[in-house]
């Protein structure tokens, strides 16, 4: 199996009792209607059922002969006559109901929704139930998404390189668009729809104005046409200086009338090509990107200029809060809050501020960004990174659901206890209508889409959590494994266990106890805690770990940078006291003595050794677990994962050894003799170089 089919494999049900139950329940289908979304639902249902059941399904012209009834009250009066209005009233515009009911003394299953796209989502959910071998005798599902904008952000350049992409080149072939429609675009749309993704940003946040030219917009429109039946809107990244670069204006000042008119015209032009264009994602005044501050204007001035032009078309602006400036000597972590918090309430109502999950930059573990809970008058979207820039690229098996959930469950205390990040995001805490979740894509043109077969699980997770943030990591892992690899119990149990332990393993072998940003410079491959040559202080690992003869860690308490003042008092209090600060975040907030006694009774140095070694051990356990599955997994994917785990083990050892040998030059304490000895010297690790490491892709 080459992995191309992702979690939509629809293999024959291999449990004979279940197979005959399923065959008895759903082989005749009534799915009326001819809209593109209903036709997509029909195609999917046919392909899915025929694969799962190993026999043809017959599509009926009337409900009378059908076992499975699929549609909306508008698509068929016979469906309108079913007693579903109660459930449907809870399904909203995108949700669905799946119920077992009887009609004229006959058992039927109805998949119904208020809209055609809801039907498609319902069909995908139903197929998921069967792919994961659930009982479908007594169904009573009502499901509606908890966030409105559920997005995949591609960092794809027009020349098909992908910024921080580790799965090949961009799947968008701008050269052959618009006339050649790669089957991949359709399968991509199916995969996204199957997990409820309804928006795709196709271009890199480090934007290129060319995408806004007539020639490219035709191509973008062709993609939008492919996505539309699947309920997916297309978004672009907006290069702030585009009016200068392609519009021949002298300025891009957002308060300049000509500039505003230029954007208005451009946006109107986009909508004549793409009537349901979603809007813009914008990175401005960050890492060298142009923005409103170049003209002494605020982020709100910039965002509102776009918002005004998009509003008549119902488009939105997603304005990124990932900003930090070169000039500021401040703790880099404080900058986003310092710039955005004062702007709370100043954005038009079709602007959302898109905030990375943590205050720094997609590290293996970060505390939640203090912007969550600090901007009650502004819709906030969360941005996660699926591509594993800081998590071992696409050679490490790291299941991110626990990372995502950790942030969602974090309590901001904005309105007292229980004010979780999830409630900020789903709008329930502050009554926001614009709600959303985004993941930076890990997708490329590799045959299996994500390079590592398990990278698919992170794409899957983003969609599932954006739909329902209450799903547990275990449930997501379980459904993904069943659909992607199969349903046998030892297989499901073992893979689920591997997945659920993988994130903590990675934190341990890379950055335990709150360490962060100690990776190689530029390409971010492997460890380089010693690196201190970057042009900016805050691109240097030494700036972040601050190891010295006394201890290690970044003091962000009132005695240090006072970053902690950006959190609610309850949060601050917990983190600020070295005794109540969770050890996972210790070195994030404190400079701690090597001799400090940890909860385990070990001192800090010993604990650091313990964690690094535990990380490597966990990878070795994963290897054993995977090897036990040889007979249960197809050969191709079995071998791929086996090879990748070997790479991961080697790199985990590299992280462990080089970090401990380096930090040891400060702690001056031995690595406990019971641990295996590093087989290389610190000098060896420092001298490694990686001409082959993927760079930033630009």
Active site residues: 287, 361, 389
Residue 111 contacts residue 134 (beta carbons within 8 Å) = no
> By CB under 6 A, is residue 325 in contact with ligand BDP?
no
Please count the residues of this chain forming the interface with ligand BDP, following the rule CB under 6 A. 11
Distances (CA, A) of 683 to 523, 679, 680: 20, 12, 8
> By CB under 6 A, is residue 389 in contact with ligand BDP?
yes
Considering the complex, what minimum distance in angstroms separates the CB of residue 521 from ligand BDP? 11
> By CB under 6 A, is residue 391 in contact with ligand BDP?
no
Reference 658, options 513, 505, 534, 526; nearest CA is 526
Considering the complex, what minimum distance in angstroms separates the CB of residue 273 from ligand BDP? 27
Considering the complex, what minimum distance in angstroms separates the CB of residue 698 from ligand BDP? 8
Chain residues 574-633 in contact with ligand BDP, contact rule CB under 6 A: none
**Which residue in the set 235, 362, 384, 605 belongs to the binding site for ligand BDP (CB under 6 A)?**
362
**Which residue in the set 322, 337, 530, 662 belongs to the binding site for ligand BDP (CB under 6 A)?**
322
Considering the complex, what minimum distance in angstroms separates the CB of residue 404 from ligand BDP? 17
Considering the complex, what minimum distance in angstroms separates the CB of residue 484 from ligand BDP? 28
| Closer residue to ligand BDP in complex, CB, 321/564 | 321
Residue 560 contacts residue 567 (beta carbons within 8 Å) = no
> By CB under 6 A, is residue 153 in contact with ligand BDP?
no
Residue 226 contacts residue 274 (beta carbons within 8 Å) = no
Burial 22-45 (b: 16+ CB within 10 A, else e): bbebbbebbbbbebebbebbbebb
Question: Can you state the angle between helices 116-131 and 473-484, rounded to 10 degrees?
Answer: 80
| Closer residue to ligand BDP in complex, CB, 10/390 | 390
Distances (CA, A) of 169 to 69, 165, 395: 41, 8, 16
Q: Distance between alpha carbon 455 and the CA centroid of its chain, in Å?
A: 11
| Closer residue to ligand BDP in complex, CB, 263/362 | 362
**Which residue in the set 37, 206, 335, 458 belongs to the binding site for ligand BDP (CB under 6 A)?**
206
Q: What's the token pair of residue 445?
A: 């043109």
Residue 645 contacts residue 622 (beta carbons within 8 Å) = yes
Considering the complex, what minimum distance in angstroms separates the CB of residue 378 from ligand BDP? 20
| Closer residue to ligand BDP in complex, CB, 91/336 | 336
> By CB under 6 A, is residue 205 in contact with ligand BDP?
yes
> By CB under 6 A, is residue 366 in contact with ligand BDP?
no
Considering the complex, what minimum distance in angstroms separates the CB of residue 159 from ligand BDP? 16
**Which residue in the set 153, 156, 331, 361 belongs to the binding site for ligand BDP (CB under 6 A)?**
361
Residue 141 contacts residue 416 (beta carbons within 8 Å) = no
> By CB under 6 A, is residue 164 in contact with ligand BDP?
yes
- Backbone phi, psi, residue 144, to 5°: -140, 145
Q: Provide the 3-class DSSP secondary structure of residue 647.
A: helix
Query: For 277-409, where are the alpha helices, taking DSSP H only?
Result: 299-310, 335-340, 401-409
The DSSP 8-state label assigned to residue 519 in this structure reads B
> By CB under 6 A, is residue 696 in contact with ligand BDP?
yes
Distances (CA, A) of 273 to 199, 213, 233, 266, 432: 17, 12, 13, 11, 30
Instruction: Examine residue 565 and say whether the peptide bond preceding it is cis (omega within 30 degrees of 0).
Output: no
| Closer residue to ligand BDP in complex, CB, 194/208 | 208
Cross-strand partners of 281: 237, 318
CA torsion, ordered 374, 377, 378, 380, to nearest 10 deg: 50
In angstroms, the CA 94 to CA 35 distance is: 16
Q: Provide the 3-class DSSP secondary structure of residue 35.
A: coil
Considering the complex, what minimum distance in angstroms separates the CB of residue 283 from ligand BDP? 5
| Closer residue to ligand BDP in complex, CB, 99/205 | 205
> By CB under 6 A, is residue 496 in contact with ligand BDP?
no
In angstroms, the CA 491 to CA 496 distance is: 8
Chain residues 424-483 in contact with ligand BDP, contact rule CB under 6 A: none
> By CB under 6 A, is residue 163 in contact with ligand BDP?
yes
| Closer residue to ligand BDP in complex, CB, 206/648 | 206
> By CB under 6 A, is residue 35 in contact with ligand BDP?
no
| Closer residue to ligand BDP in complex, CB, 368/390 | 390
Chain residues 266-305 in contact with ligand BDP, contact rule CB under 6 A: 283, 287
- Residue ranges binding ligand BDP (CB under 6 A): 163-164, 205-206, 283, 287, 322, 361-362, 389, 696
């Amino acid at each position: 199996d080459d992995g191309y089919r992702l979690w939509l494999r629809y293999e024959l049900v291999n449990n004979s009792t279940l197979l005959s139950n399923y065959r008895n329940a759903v082989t005749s289908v009534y799915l009326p209607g001819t809209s593109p979304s209903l036709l997509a639902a029909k195609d999917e249902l046919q392909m899915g059922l025929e694969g799962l059941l190993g026999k043809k399904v017959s599509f009926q012209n009337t409900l009378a002969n059908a076992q499975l009834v699929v549609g909306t009250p508008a698509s068929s009066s016979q469906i309108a006559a079913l007693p579903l209005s109660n459930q449907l009233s809870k399904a909203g515009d995108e949700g669905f109901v799946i119920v077992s009911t009887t009609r004229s003394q006959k058992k039927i299953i109805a998949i119904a929704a208020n809209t055609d796209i809801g039907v498609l989502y319902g069909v995908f959910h139903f197929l998921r139930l069967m792919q994961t071998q659930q009982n479908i005798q007594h169904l009573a599902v009502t499901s509606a998404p908890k966030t409105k904008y559920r997005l995949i952000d591609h960092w794809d350049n027009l020349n098909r390189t992908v910024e921080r992409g580790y799965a090949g080149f961009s799947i968008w072939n701008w050269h052959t668009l618009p006339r050649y429609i790669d089957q991949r675009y359709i399968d991509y749309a199916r995969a996204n729809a199957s997990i409820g993704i309804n928006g795709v940003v196709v271009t890199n946040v480090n934007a290129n104005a060319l995408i806004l030219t007539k020639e490219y917009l035709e191509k973008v429109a062709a993609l939008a046409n492919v996505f539309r039946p699947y309920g997916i809107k297309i978004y672009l990244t907006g290069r702030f200086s585009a009016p200068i670069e392609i519009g021949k204006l002298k300025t891009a000042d957002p308060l300049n009338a000509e500039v505003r008119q230029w954007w208005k015209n451009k946006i109107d032009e986009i909508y004549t090509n793409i009537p349901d264009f979603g809007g813009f994602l914008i990175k401005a005044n960050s890492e060298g990107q142009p923005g409103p501050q170049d003209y002494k204007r605020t982020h709100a001035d910039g965002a509102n200029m776009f918002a005004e032009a998009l509003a008549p078309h119902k488009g939105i602006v997603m304005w990124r809060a990932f900003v930090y400036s070169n000039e500021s000597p401040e703790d880099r972590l404080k900058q986003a809050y310092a710039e955005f918090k004062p702007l709370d309430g100043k954005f038009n109502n079709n602007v959302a501020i898109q905030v990375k999950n943590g205050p720094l930059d997609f590290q293996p573990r970060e505390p939640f960004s203090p912007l969550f809970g600090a901007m009650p008058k502004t819709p906030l979207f969360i941005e996660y990174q699926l591509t594993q820039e800081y998590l071992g690229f696409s050679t490490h098996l790291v299941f991110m659901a626990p990372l995502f959930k950790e942030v969602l469950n974090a309590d901001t205390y904005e309105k007292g206890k229980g004010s979780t990040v999830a409630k900020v995001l789903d709008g329930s805490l502050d009554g926001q209508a614009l709600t959303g979740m985004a993941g930076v894509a890990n997708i490329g043109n590799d045959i299996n889409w994500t390079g590592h077969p398990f990278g698919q699980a992170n794409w899957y997770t983003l969609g599932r959590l954006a739909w329902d943030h209450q799903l547990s990591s275990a449930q997501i892992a379980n459904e993904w494994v069943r659909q992607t690899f199969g349903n046998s119990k030892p297989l499901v149990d073992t893979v689920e266990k591997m997945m659920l332990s993988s994130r903590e393993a990675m934190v341990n072998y890379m950055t335990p106890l709150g360490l962060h940003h100690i990776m190689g410079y530029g390409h971010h491959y492997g460890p380089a805690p010693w690196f201190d040559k970057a042009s900016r202080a805050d691109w240097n690992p030494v700036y972040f770990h601050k190891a010295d003869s006394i201890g290690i860690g970044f003091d962000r308490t009132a005695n240090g940078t006072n970053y902690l003042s950006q959190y609610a008092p309850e949060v601050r209090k917990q983190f600020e006291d070295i005794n109540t600060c969770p050890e996972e975040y210790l070195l994030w907030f404190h400079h701690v003595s090597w001799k400090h006694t940890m909860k385990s009774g070990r001192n800090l140095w010993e604990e650091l050794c313990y964690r690094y070694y535990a990380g490597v051990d966990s990878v070795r356990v994963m290897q054993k677990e995977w090897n036990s599955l040889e007979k249960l997994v197809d050969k191709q994917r079995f071998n791929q994962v086996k090879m990748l785990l070997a790479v991961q083990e080697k790199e985990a050892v590299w992280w462990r050894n080089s970090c401990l040998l380096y930090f040891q030059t400060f702690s001056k304490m031995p690595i406990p003799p019971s641990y295996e000895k590093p087989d290389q010297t610190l000098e060896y690790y420092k001298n490694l170089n990686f001409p082959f490491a993927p760079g930033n892709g630009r």
